[in-house]
Every structure is written in structure tokens, then in C-alpha cells.
Structure 1
Amino acid sequence: MIRHLEKDFDIKKLLAHTPQHTESVFSTAVLVYGLNFGGLGALTNYFLSIPFYGHFSLYFGQIFVLICLITRGLNAGIIASVISATALAVKMDDPFLFIILVSETFAVHIFLRKGKVLLVADVFYWLFIGVPLTLLLLLLTSNSSTELLIISGLTISINGIFGASVAALIYSFIPFQSVYRKYRGKPPKFATIIFSLCMLTVTLPTIAISLVFTWQTTAQKEQDLSNMLSKQGEQIMYVGEAFVNNHISAVKTLSSILSESSFSIPVQTVLDSTAKNYPSFTSMLVSGPDGEILYASPEKYAMMLGRTKKHTLHTRTYFNDAKRTLEPQLSEAIEGVGFGNDAILTVSAPIVLNDQFLGISQGAIRLSSFSKFKQEHIDDNEFYQYVITDRNNRIIFASDGLSLPMLSQFSYQPSNNILLRKIPELKLQNNKYLYYQTVTEHGWKITVLNSPSAVTQVISQNFYILAVGLLITLVVFSFIASQLSKRITLPLERLANHFNDTTFPEDIAKEAEISDEMIKVTDKLINSREIMLNFQQQLTEQVQDKTKQLKSLNQKLYHLAQKDGLTNLLNRSGFDDLAQTTFRNCVRNYVPLSMVLIDIDDFKQINDTYGHPFGDKCIVSIAQTLSKFCKRNTDLLGRYGGEEFIVLLSGGHIEEHHELTKQIHRAVQKTTVSNSEITVKMTISIGISSLSSNYGMTYEGLVKSADEQLYKSKRTGKNKISIYVQ
């Protein structure tokens, strides 16, 4: 009975029932919800994005899109997604974000229709669609390394899963009736709800902590590298300035000595001594006021003087500047003329006596000497390379690994490293470098270069460790949450499964000892079960008793419906039911049969003369006589109405049927019916219709034929037998 009630009243079907209707994408409700949620998502993406690391930002507009999707369906969700994703694509200058986020809305919709919860649906999207799609788009449009592309894809996916986790947390507080009808389905299991909530409580903090850790690690590594680059640049600048200033000081000292002595000392000796003390000078010269070179060192250049060719500096810019300003001069990088053609820098200082310009002292520093000086004074580091340029951007010094020719223009293209925000990147000779630039007091620009792998490898390693750690954490906690949900719901589930059983597992009560509330619930359910089983037992016994009574009544009703109450023979309905079955079997198998109709002669007169009770006694007497002769299993006997009886004889021979009928006729003639006052003899008229060859006749036709023979017996004097064989 209880199961019947469950079929009639299924609460799950009642909860899941929702009127069916279609919702147009252009309906007012869809447009309003889509525009509102999309506007909130767009504002959040455009103005409230949080800088993460490098050129990545955390965006949260997709939270509003997912909430719109689960409450208003796909049409409103797509409108919101298009608006929100467009704002983010414009903000980040990345049109592919539009494709990825709109695809997320479609995919989550499909997974929700399949019965997945929101968080699982979004994780499935990013694992199997989002990350591969992101990597594919980046591979087709970006020249970045595979490592950077993987980090980009993982960062975007973690951002998406974090947003979905927040949306799922909000979703858990949304009333069931507010969820879009196509996502409702049947109510989830209690274990699923517990598992989802446990995973949410772990996923959100874990991802948040992971994002903060990644941001701090990346920012710290970027800051460390920036500090190292600036440190290297400052070191090069200080050493370079000291090197140049030292040589400027040497030339100034030489000019001062010559000024004070008015060239009365052995100039060549002093010049040679100075050149010897400063080996970085490839040559040193002393000129007169007109620029003619008077003295030169080393000796090979001194020997070139006094020949027919006159050597002069009057066309040199540094000579004219020194003459004009009476201040020491440091030239730009130039190519030597006259005394060698090496790439050089010249340091010149005017020789002045009583404000009268007497000439200059000049030293030429070979640019190649910077490499030796760098090796002697700067710690060698294979990760850093250097370029020094003058005010005209001509290369004074470049690390050997760069293969940049001296005096060439230092040209490069700005580049962009998506993992770094503070450190700029440039592209030089098809290679990318992180760089730091500083300018010396002499206007030289020092560029320190470092390979991006110096920081990206560390960031990548940290990111991979973080991703693996996050994955392991989620897997472990998902297992713990699964076991916890099973432990909480197992007693309830087993109670539900065994609630109607006659035997009850004894360990269910022990399994419920996980909390005081669960023990109370289990005890209440066990007590309710015992009450229910007792009631069910009583109800079953009552039903069994009522069933027995009902069967007895049914048997009585069947007996009343099939039997004649006076004679206990079959009534007309009961006889016809059985006789038609017998008739069909005989016709099918060509078995001889005879239909016999019997009527008591002058029965109305008996009733009128002696009364109906005596008439009933006569009917019973005839029935008893018929029953004595019709004893075979194949014989059917019934009271066909009033004083009329019917017999169906089958099997054997037709002649046997006729003989049996004659015996009945004779027996009735000998039978008397009496009471205390009277005695009556009766006769009967009989009509027989037998089938022995014409098996095409119907049952009704056979009865009609027998009735015609009975009528013939009545018409021709009664107390007769009329037979028709066909």
C-alpha cells in the first residue's frame, strides 16, 4: 500500500515540475537581465581589474555573467557575456579574450544541462576547452616561447576557475526556485551538496592564497632582477667614469705642467712618461696654438713629426672647443686619423699661460681598452652583457657575445614581456633582452642586458610548483571531502535503503556516531521505523483478513452469478460461457455434439393450481433427475429460464446422446412430486439439435435449432422428443 502511495504522490516529480514555455532571445525580460548583468560585468572588468603580475590582471566580471546564466538561462547569459567580454578585450587589448569568455558561457550552459554543478562545469571547460583554446590562439598570433604561452594559459584558466568558484558560492545561496528551469533537474544528493560546499570552502582560499603567493614571488623576483640590473649599470657607470676621469686628470696635469713651465722643461720626456703611466692611451700629443702637433708619444708617432707632411689638429672639434672654452674636452667616439685609424676617444686639455692659449695636450684612448678595463675592475658575470654609447648613440663598448661593431649605431626595437611589468625588454639582432639604462656625467648611455630566461625560468618553475601544488591540494581535499560527505550521509542513506526491510543492520547506529545531531536523527528515524513497521504489520494483517473476506465474497458472488439459486445448476449466463468454449473446441476438432432443450409440460397450470412453492419443488425434482444422468465431465447442464433446462452433450456418438435423452424422458415420466395433500406426475418436451458433419454452424444457430425442435415437440402434442441431425 505504501508503494502505491509513492507512485501516486512522487515528491521529486512534483518539485521538478515546471510549466513548459519557450523564452525568446528578444523578450523584454531576457534583454533587461542580460544588459544589467552584462553592464555590471563590463564595469567590473574595465575599472576593477586587479593587476596581478607582468601584464596579467585578475578580472571578475565573469562572475556576473555566470550568475545571469544560472538564473536566466543561455539567452540572457550570452548577452551579458558579449558585453562583459567586449569591455575586457578592449581593456586588455586582446580580442581573443572575447572568444574565450563567450565560449565559456556556451560550454558551462551545456554542462549544466547535463546535470553538472557550476564549479565542476567551469573546471571541465578550462581543462578540456579553455586552456587548449587559449594556447592555440596564442600560438597562432604570438612569437613568445612555449613556456610563456603555457603560463599565460594557466593564469587565465586559474582566473576563470576562481571567478567560477565565487559564482558557485553565490549560487549556493540562491533559492532553488530562482535557478533557471532547464538547469534544475532532480534535486541533488545530500552527499553531492556536502562535497560541493567542502570543495568551495577549500578551492576559494587555496586559489586566493596561490594567486597572492604567485604575485609576491613574481614581484619579488622581478624586483631582485631589476635591482641587479641597476646595480650592474651603476657599477659600470662608476667604473667607466673613474676610468675616463682618471685619464682626463692625467691630461689636465700634463697641460698644467706645460703651462707653468712655459715649455721650458723637456716636453718629450714628460709626454713619454705620462703615456707610459697610462697605457690605455694609444697616443699622446702636444700641439701649438694653431693646432700643429709639436710633440707625440710613443716614439713611433714622434718620429713621424718633422717630416715633409705637417700634422695638425685645427680641424678637430675637440681642439677648437678646448681653444674656445679653455676647458678640458672629451670627444665623441671617432676613428683615428694620422696616428693610426683605431676607434678612439680623445681627452684634451688647453695649455694656457696668462689667459693666452698656447695649445693643447691630448690623449687618445683606444676603445678596445675598455674591454680589458672591464675585465680587471668588474666581476665577470655570464648572465649580463653591456653596451656603452656616446651622445651620438655610437657604440663605445659592447660585450663580445653581442658581436656589435665599434662606432656603429646602437639600434634596437622595444619589446614586451608578458611576465614582467617593471623591467623593460628590447629586441636586438632577433634576440630579446631585459635591460637597464643609465647615463654618465659625460653623456654616455650604459645599457645592461640580461636574458629573459633569467627571470622567466624562475617564475615558470615557481608557477609550475604552484600549479602542481594547487592540483595536488584540490585532489587531496576532493578525496577528503568525498569521504567526509559519504561518512555524513552513509547512515542516512543506509537508513533510507533499509527503512522498509524486515531486518535492520545493527551497525547503522554505530556509523551515526559522528556527531550528536546525527545520533539524534538516527535514533528518531530508527524509532519511527519501528513504529512504521509495527503499523505496517498491523495493516498487513488487516489487509490479509480483508482479502480473505473479499475472496470469500467474490466466490459467493461468482457462485450467485453463475449458478441458479433454486436448482444449483448453471444459470443461463454461466451455461453460455462454458458451452461456447466447449462448442468452439468441438467444432475445431470435429467432435460430435448435441444441444438439448427441455421444457416442463403444462407448468403454468401446475403453478396456478398448486402454487409457486409446489412449482419450485417440481423444478428441483426435474433438475435432480437431469443431474443423475448427466454425470460426465463433458456434460453441461443448466436451467435456461423458468421451467426450461438445457444440456450440451459432446464426445462419443450422436446416437449415444439421443439414447441418454430418451432415458431422461422416461425417468421423468416415472417421477412424481407430492406433498401432504397431492401427488403430481410430470412430462417434458425435448428438442435436440445434433452436429456430426455441418461444423460451420454457430453456437447461436445450434441453440436456435434445438429451440425449434422443442417448439415442434410442443406443437405436436407435448411429452415428445424431436431430433434434428446435421
Structure 2
Amino acid sequence: MSLPRINQQHLLYSIILGVIGLLLNFYPIQFFANVQFVLGNTMTVIAAVLLGPWYAFLTAMMASTGLMLIWDSPHVYLIFGLEALFLGYARRRDIYALYADAAYWLLLGAPLVYLYVVFLMDIPPSHLGFIISKQGINGLIYTSIASLLILAIPKLWFLKDKVKDRHRRQLSAQLTYFFTLLVTLTLLFSALIFNYYSLERQQVMLKQNMTEAVAHISASTQSYIENHKTVIQNTANQLTLIADKPEKWQAILSSFHESYPSFISMLIADPDAKIVNASPVSRLIAIDKKAQDININDRDYFIESFYNRRLFVSSAFLGRGFGNDAIVAMSTPFYLDEQHTQVAGIIEGSLDLSYFSHIDQVSEYSNDESVVMVDEKNQIIFASKKLSLKPLSQFNFVINKGGYHANLELINIHKMTSIVPEYIYTHRELNNGWTVYILKEFSPLLKLAEEQMFASFIMLLVSLVCTFYISTKLSALLTVPLEAVANQFSLPDSGKVSTIDDNSPREVFSLYQRLVASKEQLVAHQMELEQTVANRTAELEKANKKLTELVDRDPLTGLYNRRYAERKFSELLEFCLRSEQTITVAILDLDLFKTINDNYGHLAGDECLRKVSQLLQKYFKRDIDIVARYGGEEFLLILPLSNTLHIEHHLNGFREALSQLEITSPEDNQAFKVMVSIGAITANADYEADLDKWIKIADENLYQAKQQGRNRTIIDIITD
């Protein structure tokens, strides 16, 4: 069995399409989470329809390399390579690409994606539906775009040696397929746009709710800390008043502790760091029974308060001896004198960290959100129970910057290496260095996106079936009567109308009657009419050419006029929008032109304008460049596909060349030179649809050039 002959031209086409597909696949369109729409595979579908399966397979391998480089997922070669072969062989059987691709994803593509994700990727099973429906929708999108491109580019219809239909297609089938393509793309883009903005609103609401939650909890925590700092300071003030009466210290301590039970315990230590009073007293009695003294001279809360004489709030730590709870200590000194020169001891209170659990529980935002609170050393002070994080442990997390796209901050705290984010989070730092984190599981938002994507996929399949049925009926209303008319005129005259009757559309029946009445006359005058039409067409083309020249050209300079430039701007704008390119609009004004007319005469002024026009056409000579006389001594340039790095240099090159150009007056042969000032703007095509807005900015820059001494170029380059 011999191998099929390789068509060198088709091989070249498939490589070119593959390179284009590879470049397009380097920049997949982000939608949400791990949904990225790849348009480079459009080239694969075009190759499958025009060139056949194996050339399409080569194109698919090259286009998939772009995805492999950015996704690092070798499955793209298998899935998209098989898709290319499937579409190519379906094309040989006269099956339209859209129908074939829908069948591929239902029968092969979706199961292959499922097996790959389950066995080779670390992705939760709950994400499977989202991933599979995304792949199917993406396939239908680029297949529909490819099919419309083939229909919209006439050159592709006549590609040499392209795959041809085995049987001539019916008009009704072609109309049905065209309608199906349009409806498919319309529904897909409508559904995706709706889903996109719906998810955007969801994310905005989530972010706002979480920001309000962290603000609320932060304010409550800050208030809690400040209130208890005030309590400690007030207790110290009371103790200062009776510092010389140690026997009253216990009563003061117990009284304050009774009023503020949010402290697990409170204690007083003397200058030797020995605990002399405590509340509840039972803890101090238990210590005495052990016949040992608890010395706290190594505790930060004693050192900071006693030696540095300030109110101190500690990091979270584990209590020792006098209680073994995880605590945050607040301490401050009290004094033997009012001048605060001699420290009598320190007062300390151990905050009850369970209070933060109370804040979490009573918060109106806490139904599906979790709270983590850490101190300045990143130790966990409190964490919601469902997070399973231990107090006093380090709060370790990884900010998720993987393949999941969202307008929210995403982190992982349990599965650090997973590409799938676990939580959405926001945080706020308190005045004392603590940080409050609000966490919300990412999976519910992803589930919502999955449901929307799956609903779009189901809606699309149902719409395809309905569109196919309705389009078939609509096309039959047109094609059946037309076929009857064709049959009538393909047979010898019999005087019978056959299916052309009162049930036929009025326009078709009227057409039939006129054709019958004109048949003999048309045959008799066919040659004469053809000659007449040819003559009239030539005359009309010649007249139209002259008329166009008169309407669009400036008679003095031969340049386009302002009206032509304004009319062509919208076409150039659409062209640049499709390729996301920039446009430059520039206004040039000859400096001191009046003096040329005054010194050398108006004929010299006209000659000057013609020379400037010729130089303009030399410097801006691309077919797509518009060089027009704007009025008087002003000229207008519209330069699509501008290079923002070189456009100013190019304009200055013209300005410098003009300043060196010698112009001879036709009246007295005197030579003179002229200079020009230029104002311009370069921006993306989507910057503004109205040419007047571009001209306004260019005109303002021209005014600045004149004000700054003339013979210069001022340009605004807008890159955003």
C-alpha cells in the first residue's frame, strides 16, 4: 500500500496555519478560574476543512505546542490531535465541521478529558464538570469561528486542490448550516458574556462582604483590646494610691477581676518578680501548696512593664505554673509615689482568647466565613474551629498564583502545593501589630461558575437541535419554489405550471410569470444586450473614476481632500480594531506660509504646496496611509498600524527633509525653503471612534509646537 503523495503547497499552508495557531495559543483568553478560551485551534479547524486530516494533524501539533508551553499539559497533543483527525475525516464524508466537532466532544473529547483529569491531575472531582463543559464550549466556539472565516474569505473557496465535497450540497443544507453557525456563536457569546458579568458581580459582592466582615471583626477586636488595656491601667492607678498598703492589693485585684471576667486571671508581682497576689485566689493557694515560688522575671510582660515602665501587650504564649492556658498578657507598673519614680510592682491580666470565638460566632458575616487572628509574630491567637488550626502555631499559607484566574485574593493553608485555591481571603492589621484574616471557601464560587457553564452547554445543544429543525423548514420555504421555477425552465414549454400555484410565495410566482413573458425576448436580444451592457459598464466605470477623482482629490496638490479622509477613517479604525493595532493622526501646518505668498507671490505659494504634497507622498507611501490636504497650508495624516517606538522619528524625518527642500518660484525663479510644525496623537484603535476627538488632540499639540518656536513635532503616545 503506497503512502499518499505529499502536496507541497498544502504542507506549507498547514505549517503557516500551525505557526499562527501557536502564536494565538500563547495568549489564551482568561474567563474565570481555570477557564481559558484558546482561539489558536481555529487554524486547526480551517486546515481540517480545507486540507484534510493529516495536514490538520500537523497544524494541531504545532498549535498545541503553544498550549503545552504555557500549561505544561501534554494531554493537549492527544485531545486536539484526535480532534483534527476526526474533523478531517468527517469533512471527507461531507459532514459540516460544527456538527462533527459537537459529536467529537460528546463521544471522544469529554471522556478523554475526564480520564486525564482523574488519573493524572491533582484536581478535586467536584471540578470535573466545570473543566469538561469548558472544553466542549471552547471547541464549539473556535469551530464556529473557523467555519465563518471560511465562508467570509472568498479566496479560501478556490484554494487549489482543497478537499472537495463528494456530493454537491443542497442550498437548504447550506442555509441551515449558516443559520446554525450564527445562532451558535450568538448564543455562546451571549451566555459567556452574561456568565462573565454575573461572576464579576458575585466577586465584587464577595469582596465587599469580606471587607465589611474583616472591618467589623477588627473593630471589635481592637475595641476589646483597648478596653482591657484601660482596665489594666485603671487597676494600676488604684494600686498606686494604696501602694504602701500591700494588704489591700488583693481586694483591689479581686474587685477588678470580678468586674472584668474576660481576664482568665490577674496577678500582682513585686519588684523581685515574685507573684504576691492573684485572682482567682485559688490559683495562688494551689501554688503555695506546691511549696514553690513562681518567678516571672523572664517573662516579657514583667520585663517591659517593670524595667521599661510602660503598658505592654504580649504576643500569644502558653501559661506556666500560674495557669497553663494559651494567653495574651497585658501588664503595666504601679508606683509607690505620685511622681512615678519608684515601681512598687506590676499588675498583669491574662486575656481570655475564647472571647474571639464569641466574636466569630455572633458576627453576622460568619455563616460561611472563617476567622484567623495572629499576633505580630504570626502565631495563631484564634482560628475558627472548621479550619482545624492550633492556637500558638505559626499561620502558614501560600498565596495562590496558579492557573486559576479571579478578581479576588486566593490562598492555600492546607494543601500548599495544590494549583487549586482553597480559600478567598482578606485581612487587616490592627494597631498593636495583630492581623485578622477572613477566609471563605473558593469551591462554592467555582461551583456557581460550573453550574452556569453547564447550563450554557445544555442550552447550546438544545438550541442547536431547534435551530437545525427551524432552519430546515425556513430554507425549504425558499428553495422548494425556486427549484420548481428552475424545473419549469429546464423543460420544453408545456403550458403547465406544476408546483407554481397559489400556494407559492407571491414573489416566486411573480418571478415565474415575468420569466415566462421575457424568455423569448431575452434569447433574441441576448448578444445585443451583452454588448450594450459591456459598453455601458466601461463608460460607467470611466465616469465613476473621473467623478471619484473630482470628489475625493484636491485639484491643486492631487492629495485626498478632508472629506475623503474623514470617510475612510472609520474603515481604517475597524481594520485596526480587528488586529488590536494603533493609529496615528497628525496635522501639519507650514510655518510662516503667508510670508511666501507676500514675498514670492501666490504662484510660488501654490508651487510650495505641490512640492510639500509630493514629499508627503514619498514619506508616507503605504497603501493604507491617508495623506490629505486639510485646508489652506494644513495637511492631515492618518497612519494605521503605527509603530509607537518609531512614529515620532518618522514624522521628524519628514520635517527635516522638508526643511532641506529648495523650492523655486515659477515667477522669478527665486529659491526658498519652508518649514513645518506637526501635532500628532498615537493610540490604540479603541481609544476613540470619532475622528474629531483625534484631530482635537493633534491640533492642540500643533498649537504647542507653534508656541514653542515652530519647526518641531509634538506627539501624544497613548499606550493604555
What secondary structure does 2:367 align onto? Answer: coil
2:105 to 101, 126, 129: 126
- 1:328 is aligned, of 311, 335, 360, to 311
Which of the residues 423, 441, 446 maps onto 1:434? 423
Matched pairs, number: 507
Which residue of structure 2 lines up, in the alignment, with residue 81 of structure 1?
60
Q: Aligned to 1:359, which of 336, 345, 357?
A: 345
Alpha-carbon separation, structure 1, partners of 2:424 and 2:136? 30
Q: Which residue of structure 1 aligns with residue 436 of structure 2?
A: 446
Instruction: State yes or no: 1:407 paired with 2:407.
Output: no
- For the 8 Å contact 1:100–1:130, the answer to whether it is kept is yes
Residue type at the aligned position of 1:122 = D
Q: Is the 8 A contact 1:226 1:423 kept in 2?
A: no
Q: Does 1:372 align with 2:362?
A: no
| Shift of residue 412, structure 1, vs aligned partner | 5.7
Q: Could you list the per-position Cα deviations for residues 313-363 of structure 1 after superposition, in whole angstroms to 9, with x for gaps in the alignment?
A: 212122112334322222222222222212222111233553444332100
Gap change, CA 1:92 and 1:220, over 3 Å in 2 = farther
What's the offset of the Cα at 1:163?
A: 1.1
Kindly state the Cα deviation for residue 497 of structure 1 after the two structures are TM-superposed: 6.0
* AA at the equivalent of 2:223: A
Candidates 18, 21, 26, aligned match of 1:46: 26
- 1:129-165: CA deviation from partner (whole Å, max 9, x where unpaired): 2222222211222343444211211112212211111
For 1:466-505, list aligned pairs within 5 A.
Answer: 466-495=456-485, 500=491, 504=496
Aligned to 1:34: 14
Aligned to 1:424: 410
Aligned twin of 2:505? 513
Question: Displacement of 1:222 after TM fit?
Answer: 2.7
What's the CA shift for 1:403? 4.2
Q: What whole-Å deviation, never above 9, does each CA across 1:446-467 have from its counterpart, x for those lacking one?
A: 3333333432333233333333
Whichever residue aligns with residue 394 of structure 1, its letter is Q
Gaps of 5+ in 2: 523-720
Q: 1:107 corresponds to which residue?
A: 86
Separation in structure 1 between the aligned mates of residue 43 and residue 53 of structure 2, nearest angstrom: 13
The 3 A distance-change label for structure 1 pair 495 and 237 is same
| Superposition deviation, residue 531 in structure 1 | 12
Question: Are the equivalent residues in 2 in contact too, given 1:346–1:365 (CA < 8 A)?
Answer: yes
Say which SS state the counterpart of residue 185 (structure 1) adopts. coil
Alignment partners' CA distance in 2, 1:51 and 1:355: 67
Q: Secondary structure at the match of 2:179?
A: helix
Do residues 270 (structure 1) and 252 (structure 2) align?
yes
Residue number in structure 2 paired with 1:214: 195
Deviation by residue 1:527-578 (Cα, 9 ceiling, x = unmatched): 699999xxxxxxxxxxxxxxxxxxxxxxxxxxxxxxxxxxxxxxxxxxxxxx
Q: For residue 485 of structure 1, report the CA deviation from its aligned partner.
A: 0.7
| 2:163 alignment partner, SS class | helix
Offset, 1:507: 5.0
- How big is the shift at 1:238? 2.0
CA distance in 1, matches of 2:293, 2:311: 25
Which residue number corresponds to residue 448 of structure 2?
458
Contact 1:425–1:434, Cα closer than 8 Å, also in 2: yes
Distance 1:185 1:71, change over 3 A: same
How many angstroms apart in 2 are the aligned matches of 1:72 and 1:429? 47
1:344 and 2:327 aligned: yes
Query: Residues 212-291 of structure 1 correspond to what in structure 2 (within 5 A)?
Result: 212-259=193-240, 262-263=243-244, 266-291=248-273
Secondary structure at the counterpart of residue 344 of structure 2? strand
For each residue in 1:39-58, what CA deviation from the matched residue of structure 2 results, as whole angstroms up to 9, or x when unmatched? 111111213x3211113222
CA contact (8 A) 1:492 1:522 kept: no
Q: Tell me if the contact between 1:419 and 1:456 (Cα under 8 Å) persists in the aligned partners.
A: no
| 2:481–2:499 contact (8 Å) kept in structure 1 | no
Conserved in 2, the CA contact under 8 Å of 1:55 and 1:420?
A: no
Distance 1:511 1:84 in 2: 53
Aligned to 1:385: 370
Partner residue in 2 for 1:184:
165
Contact map agreement 2:266 2:348 (CA 8 A) in 1: yes
Amino acid at match of 1:398: A
User: CA separation in 1, counterparts of 2:55 and 2:415?
Assistant: 51
CA contact (8 A) 1:233 1:436 kept: no
Asked if structure 2 preserves the Cα contact closer than 8 Å seen for 1:390 and 1:396, the reply is yes
Asked whether the 8 Å contact 2:188–2:456 carries over to 1, the reply is no
TM-score (norm 1): 0.63
SS of structure 2 residue aligned to 1:178: coil
Kept after mapping to 1: 8 A contact 2:52/2:89: no
Q: How far apart, in 2, do the equivalents of 1:211 and 1:374 lie?
A: 37
Contact 1:329 1:349 in 2 (8 A): yes
> Using a 3 Å threshold, how does the CA distance of structure 1 residues 56 and 113 change in structure 2: closer, same or farther?
same
Deviation at 1:285, TM superposition (A): 1.1
**Cα separation, 1, equivalents of 2:106 and 2:220:** 53
Root-mean-square deviation (CA, aligned residues, Å) is 3.3
**Residues of 2 paired with 1:158 and 1:327: CA distance?**
65
User: What is the CA-CA distance between 1:381 and the residue it aligns to?
Assistant: 3.7
Q: Distance in 2 between matches of 1:57 and 1:417?
A: 9
Of 123, 132, 136 in structure 2, the residue corresponding to residue 157 of structure 1 is: 136
- 1:398 lines up with 2:383 in the alignment: yes
Aligned residue number for residue 197 of structure 1: 178
Work out whether 1:297 is the aligned partner of 2:279.
Answer: yes
Distance 1:286 1:23, change over 3 A: same
Between the aligned residues of both structures, percent identity stands at 24
| Distance of aligned partners of 1:427 and 1:315 in 2 relative to their CA distance in 1, 3 Å threshold | closer
Deviations 1:403-443, CA, capped at 9 Å, x for gaps: 44433444566666847462414253899842414233333
| Cα 1:475–1:71 shift into 2, 3 Å | closer
Residue pair 1:69, 1:109 contacting (<8 A) in 2 also:
yes
Question: What letter matches 1:322 in structure 2?
Answer: S
| Cα displacement (A) at 1:200 | 2.1
The 1:31/1:384 distance shift into structure 2, 3 A limit, reads same
Offset of residue 64 of structure 1: 2.3
Deviations 1:665-706 (A, max 9, x none): xxxxxxxxxxxxxxxxxxxxxxxxxxxxxxxxxxxxxxxxxx
Deviations 1:182-201 (A, max 9, x none): 33323211111111221222
CA distance in structure 2 between the partners assigned to 1:417 and 1:43 by the alignment: 19
Q: Look up the equivalent residue of 2:158 and give its one-letter code.
A: Q
- Structure 2 distance, partners of 1:160, 1:421, is 26
Mark the structure with the bigger radius of gyration. 1
Structure 1 gaps of 5+ residues are 1-20, 533-726
Quick one: distance in 1 between partners of 2:436 and 2:175?
A: 62
Which shifted more, 102-111 or 281-290? 281-290
